Amino acid sequence: MKFKLQDHILVPKHELLSKEEAEELLKILGVRKEDLPKIRADDPIAKEIGAKPGDIVRIIRESKTAGRSVVYRLVI
């Protein structure tokens, strides 16, 4: 009966990227992992997802101007 953070309205959807997806992303953007925005490994939602330092998280959130906006974060 645990309360899942992702269920709350104010928390956007967080997904873990697979190794291949992560590589693909870095290639498309032409960046290194370190250039991405960061999220800490002890962040509550990172823990819920099971993210380890070095992983990349995909975050999908509702945007006032764009409808939907996708961002990525490196877990550190």
Nearer to another protein, 2 or 52 (CB): 52
The answer to whether residues 73 and 57 touch, using CB atoms and an 8 Å cutoff, is yes
Beta-carbon-side half-sphere exposure of residue 36 (alpha carbons within 13 Å):
25
Per rule CB under 8 A, is residue 34 in the interface with another protein?
yes
Stretch that binds another protein, among 1-9, 15-23, 33-41, 44-52 (CB under 8 A): 33-41
Question: What pairs with residue 69 in β-bridges?
Answer: 61
Binding mask 38-67 for another protein (x = CB under 8 A): -------------------------x-xxx
- Tell me how crowded residue 75 is: count the other CB atoms within 10 A of its CB: 21
Nearer to another protein, 44 or 53 (CB): 53
